[in-house]
């Protein structure tokens, strides 16, 4: 086990590595940024994906949010902590943002453990930590697509899911499923979107390592939710949507998958937790 040697006038002693981790995980992000300069081992530790996940879990009760604001055709990013002061802090994006309306509408945001995955219209893919201002540029896979990601302790890294190419004008072309691993720093194609289904919607959502996609069966036009396990890299049993519900989309609130829709005899929009 690694340790840090500490010296003082009275004695010399070493601090075990696990105790150092316990101490550092309790500190705010601003302190961690300073402490990266203490030594190379601390720098590597604080940048490690496992440590970032542990630090995030320790501070989950801190209600800090990332906000994207679009006003007068100008896009800005803020972090805000919902306490008694509720002060929003302006955050510079990791790359300059194309402020055109078309480009902004094509930017995709997803989050995991305080890390953001941002995909820009020109196939620039960035993993970004708004708290530390550190970012990592992901090599592009193929042009276009829908993205989401999740952390996996087993590989000590993140996996990025891509479904594409995607055409939103009603033309249902064949779509590849590609996965990027931050451990190997490589993309791989693991299959295609099931040919017996039409993809529905404009997003893919993630919860607990499972990718959820709205779809429609070609044989009977029934709506369903397809599930793809990002860890095992395979499809799982689908979630059937009752015929009495007219689905409008899916999303994740907290860790719960939610279906947005209305009853056939009532246009009032409802949210169903699945």
In DSSP notation, 243-266 reads: TTEEEEEEEEETTEEEEEEEETT-
For the chain, the distance separating the N- and C-terminal CA atoms, rounded to the nearest angstrom, is: 44
Cβ count within 10 A of residue 117 = 22
Any idea which residue has 């829908």 for tokens?
146
Cα–Cα distance for residue pair 116/98, rounded to 1 Å: 18
Cα–Cα distance for residue pair 137/221, rounded to 1 Å: 40
Residues 98/74, Cβ–Cβ less than 8 Å? no
pLDDT at 81 (0 to 100): 62
Cα–Cα distance for residue pair 44/126, rounded to 1 Å: 20
Nearest alpha carbon to residue 166 among 127, 191, 203 = 203
72, 101, 200 from 270: Cα distances, Å: 32, 30, 19
pLDDT at 49 (0 to 100): 76
pLDDT at 32 (0 to 100): 77
pLDDT at 170 (0 to 100): 47
The structure tokens listed for 265 are 């005899």
What predicted TM-score, i.e. pTM, was given to this entire model? 0.74
Residues 144/157, Cβ–Cβ less than 8 Å? no
Tens of pLDDT along the chain (274 residues) come to: 344 444 444 555 566 777 888 888 887 777 777 777 778 887 788 777 778 777 777 766 665 666 777 676 667 766 656 555 666 666 677 776 665 666 656 788 898 888 889 888 778 899 988 877 788 999 988 878 899 999 998 888 899 999 987 544 445 568 899 999 999 999 999 999 999 999 988 889 999 999 999 999 998 888 999 999 999 999 999 998 888 788 888 988 877 899 888 887 777 888 878 7
């Amino acid at each position: 086990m690694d340790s840090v040697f500490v010296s003082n006038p009275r004695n010399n002693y070493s601090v075990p590595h696990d105790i150092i981790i316990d101490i550092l995980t309790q500190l705010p992000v601003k302190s961690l940024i300073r402490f990266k300069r203490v030594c190379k081992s601390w720098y590597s530790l604080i940048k490690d994906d496992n440590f970032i996940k542990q630090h995030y879990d320790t501070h989950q009760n801190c209600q800090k949010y990332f906000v994207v604001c679009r006003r007068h055709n100008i896009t800005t990013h803020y972090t805000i902590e919902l306490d008694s002061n509720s002060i929003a802090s302006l955050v510079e994006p990791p790359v300059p943002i194309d402020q055109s309306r078309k480009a902004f509408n094509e930017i995709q945001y997803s989050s995991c453990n305080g890390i953001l995955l941002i995909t820009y219209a020109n196939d620039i893919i960035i993993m970004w930590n708004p708290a530390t201002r550190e970012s990592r540029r992901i090599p592009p896979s193929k042009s276009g697509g829908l993205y989401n990601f999740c952390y996996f302790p087993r590989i000590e890294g993140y996996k990025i899911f891509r479904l594409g190419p995607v055409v939103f004008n009603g033309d249902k072309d064949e779509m590849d499923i590609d996965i990027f691993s931050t451990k190997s720093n490589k993309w791989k194609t693991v299959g295609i979107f099931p040919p017996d289904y039409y993809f529905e919607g404009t997003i893919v959502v993630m919860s607990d390592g499972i990718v959820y996609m709205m779809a429609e069966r070609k044989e009977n036009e029934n709506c369903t939710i397809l599930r793809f396990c990002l860890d095992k890299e395979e499809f799982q049993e689908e979630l059937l949507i009752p015929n009495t519900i007219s689905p409008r989309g899916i999303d994740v609130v907290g860790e719960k998958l939610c279906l947005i829709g209305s009853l056939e005899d009532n246009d009032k929009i409802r949210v169903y937790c699945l």
